[in-house]
Amino acid sequence: MKPKQAQRKPYDVGDYSVPQVAASMSSAPSSVPTGFTRPTGKTSAPCLISPPPQAGPSGAPVRLGVMASGSGSNFEALAQAITAGQLNATLPILIYNNPNAGVVERAQRHNVPTMLLNHRDYDSREALDQKITETLREHDVEWVIMAGWMRIVTPRLIDAFAQRIINIHPSLLPSFKGIRAIEQALDSGVTITGCTVHIVTAEMDSGPVLMQSAVPILADDTPESLHRRIQFQEHQILPGAIALAVEQTRCP
Ligand code: GRF
């Protein structure tokens, strides 16, 4: 007779214990686990995630202005969540700063209007942020989503949309802030990293956390392989985190 398999809890993911979808405008975990050996394995290793909440918000679709600089896979995740009826939102404008950004083609495919605001055309960060703010306002944007925006933003923009700018960062904040977060995690020797969706405040990568997903670092990970698995999780949590933030501010 076969031994009876131990029953798994709903979000049990094999050899890794159940992590968090941390929610609410609270602060991020203060440290990442250390002292473990990195698991071996290929990209099939499970990621540590609980399912994100169903992506409201209820009421009128929220108008999201997206800012992006790169390939736009997070933009794509948003657009698809909207199309699938999982996120009650519209995308009135995509702002991008890099003329070669892959995100533009994705926006065109989803019929999202685009605007190139190239930072090289502006004398200062403030001047660029002023133009971004005006553009977002012209499109009646309610919330701003920085989906891979690779520029530091200034109070000019942050104050104009106070508590209504959301960023996605490829680490479990407050660990590994700033650029090269994935390389920082690999260099540090931690065995778990991940991604964080948070509200943008004046201090970089330090605003209230909306949602996080943990990703194990494997012994043979390269920055590229790890980034791929982190991005997969980014796409899972970004729509739900936006819904959560909007819903919270709409609550009486
Ligand atoms: C993401 O990994 C995000 O965490 C970081 O920039 C990357 C953007 O990727 N801020 P994509 O352009 O959405 O594919």
Residue 181 backbone dihedrals phi, psi, to 5 degrees = -65, -35
> Which residue matches tokens 């933030």?
245
Cα(6) to ligand 1 centroid in Å equals 38
Domain assignment present for residue 252? The answer is: no
Q: Band of the pLDDT at 59, cuts 50, 70, 90? A: confident
pLDDT at position 180 is 97
CA 51 to chain centre: 15
Average pLDDT, whole number, for the chain? 83
pLDDT at position 40 is 53
Domain assignment present for residue 190? The answer is: yes
For 14, residues 6+ apart whose C-beta sits below 8 A from its C-beta are 46
pLDDT at position 17 is 27
Q: Is 197 in the pocket of ligand 1 (CB under 6 A)?
A: no
Catalytic positions, written as ranges: 169
Joined together, the tokens standing for residue 88 give: 């009650």
pLDDT at position 56 is 57
Question: Residue 220 above 80 pLDDT?
Answer: yes
Q: Ligand 1, closest atom to CA 72?
A: 12
Q: Band of the pLDDT at 247, cuts 50, 70, 90? A: confident
Q: Ligand 1, closest atom to CA 71?
A: 12
Domain assignment present for residue 55? The answer is: no
- Compute the distance between CA of residue 20 and CA of residue 182 in angstroms, rounded to an integer: 20
Q: Report, as an integer, the average pLDDT of 77-106.
A: 96
* Sign of the four-CA dihedral 129, 134, 135, 137: positive
Q: Band of the pLDDT at 193, cuts 50, 70, 90? A: very high
pLDDT in tens, 137-173: 999 999 999 999 999 999 999 999 999 999 999 999 9
**Domain residue limits at 131:** 62-247
- Compute the distance between CA of residue 159 and CA of residue 197 in angstroms, rounded to an integer: 19
Domain assignment present for residue 165? The answer is: yes
Determine contact, residues 133/61, Cβ cutoff 8 Å.
no
Helix (H, G, I), strand (E, B) or coil at 208: coil
Q: How many domains does the chain have?
A: 1
Q: Is 170 in the pocket of ligand 1 (CB under 6 A)?
A: yes
The CB-side HSE value for 55 (13 A sphere, CA atoms) comes to: 27
User: In CATH, what number is assigned to the domain containing residue 149?
Assistant: 3.40.50.170
Residue to mutate (ligand 1; options 76, 168, 182; most atoms within 8 A of CB): 168
- Compute the distance between CA of residue 176 and CA of residue 193 in angstroms, rounded to an integer: 9
Domain assignment present for residue 14? The answer is: no
Question: Residue 67 above 90 pLDDT?
Answer: yes
Q: Is 214 in the pocket of ligand 1 (CB under 6 A)?
A: no
Domain assignment present for residue 114? The answer is: yes
Domain assignment present for residue 85? The answer is: yes
pLDDT at position 28 is 36
Domain assignment present for residue 212? The answer is: yes
